[in-house]
Amino acid sequence: MVKKYLSLVKFSHTIFALPFAFIGFFMGVFFVAQQKSVSMLDVLFQKQMLQLFLLVLVCMVTARSAAMAFNRYLDRHFDAKNPRTAIREIPSGVIAASSALRFVILNAVVFIAATYFINPICFYLSPVALFVILFYSYTKRFTALCHIVLGLGLSLAPIGAYLAVTGTFATLPILFSCVVICWVSGFDIIYAMQDMDFDASQNLHSIPTYLGKENALKLSVLLHIIAAVLVIAAGLQAGYGYFYWEGALVFIGMLYYQHSIVSPTNLTKVNIAFMTANGIASVIFGIHVLVALFLQ
C-alpha cells in the first residue's frame, strides 16, 4: 500500500525541490553560525537544530505529497480520458478517489502541525503555503500561466527552510526561490507539450496550447536563461567559492542539454529532459552549494 501512495505522489520527483530546501536550511544555519561566531558544525549538531532539520523534512514531504495527491484527485476524470495518464493510480482503480482525498487531508494536517513546532512565522504562513501549492491544481482550468504557479509552489522550499531556521526573510534565499520559479516553469512547459492536443480537446490551458510548440519552447528557453542569470547573481552576492561555480556550471549545462534534445518536431526525449536532466541539475547543484557554504 505504501508503494502505491509513493507512486501516486511521484515521490521520486521530490528530487527537484528537496535540494533547494536543503540550500535554504543550511543558509539559515550559516546565518546563525555567523551571529554566534561559531562554526556551522557547532550549530548543526545541536539537538534543537537536528530536530528542526527533521521538522523541515517532514514539512517538505507532507506539503509536496498533499499537493501531488490533490492534483491527481482533482484531475482524475481528465486523467482517465488521456491515454498517457489513464494508468495512473486513481483512474486505473489502484487507489480510490476518496482514499486519495483523505491522504491529502492527512498530509495537510501533519504539515501544519510540523510548522507549529518550528516557529510562529512558519505556522502563521503555513495556510498560505498550502493554498499556493493546492491552488495550482485548479489553474490549468482557466490560465496558461499554470506553469508559473507550479514554479511558485516549489519555490517556497528554499525560503521556507530558511525561515524555519532564522525566522526572518533574506535576499539570498529569495534569489534561490526565483531560480526555482523560472527553472520549474521552464521545464514544465516542455513536459506539457506531450498533452497539447488532449488539453485543447478538453479546454485545458497551458503555454504550449496557447503559444504553440515553437513559441512555447522559446519561452522555456527564456525562463531558463533567467534562471541561469539568477544562479550567477546569487553566487556573486554570496561570494561563494570554486565549488559553487562548479555546481552552477553543471546546473546551467543541464538546462542547455534539455533544450538540445527537445524540438517542436521531436518530443521523444521529453521524459529524459524532464526527469534525468533536471534531477541531475538539482542534486549536483545542491551538493555544491552546501559544500560552498561549509567552506566559506
Percent of the chain beyond pLDDT 90? 80
Mean pLDDT (the chain, rounded)? 92
- What CA–CA distances, in Å, run from 119 to 6, 66, 107? 29, 21, 19
Mean pLDDT value across residues 77-99: 91
Specify burial of residue 260 (Cβ count, 10 A radius: 0-12, 13-18, 19+): exposed
The pLDDT assigned to 179 comes to 97
166 pLDDT above the threshold of 80:
yes
Task: Specify the residue for cell string 527537484.
Answer: 16
The enclosing domain of 117 has a CATH number of: 1.10.357.140
Return the exposure string of 78-107: e unless at least 16 CB atoms fall within 10 Å of the residue's CB, then b. bbeebeebeebbbbeeebebebbeebbeeb
**What confidence category does residue 253 fall into, taking pLDDT thresholds of 50, 70 and 90?**
very high
The pLDDT assigned to 239 comes to 92
Residue 107 lies in domain:
2-295
- What CA–CA distances, in Å, run from 173 to 16, 22, 96, 157, 230? 16, 11, 39, 9, 11
Q: Please, which residues bridge with residue 263 across strands?
A: 266
The pLDDT assigned to 296 comes to 82
Domain count, the chain: 1
The pLDDT assigned to 124 comes to 97
C-alpha closest to that of 194 among 215, 208, 214: 208
Mutual angle of helices 47-74 and 146-166, in 10-degree steps: 160
How far apart, in whole angstroms, are the C-alpha atoms of residue 132 and residue 164? 18
Mean pLDDT value across residues 34-47: 90
The residues near 259 (Cβ < 8 Å, ≥ 6 apart) are: 217, 220, 221, 224, 273
Percent of the chain beyond pLDDT 70? 97
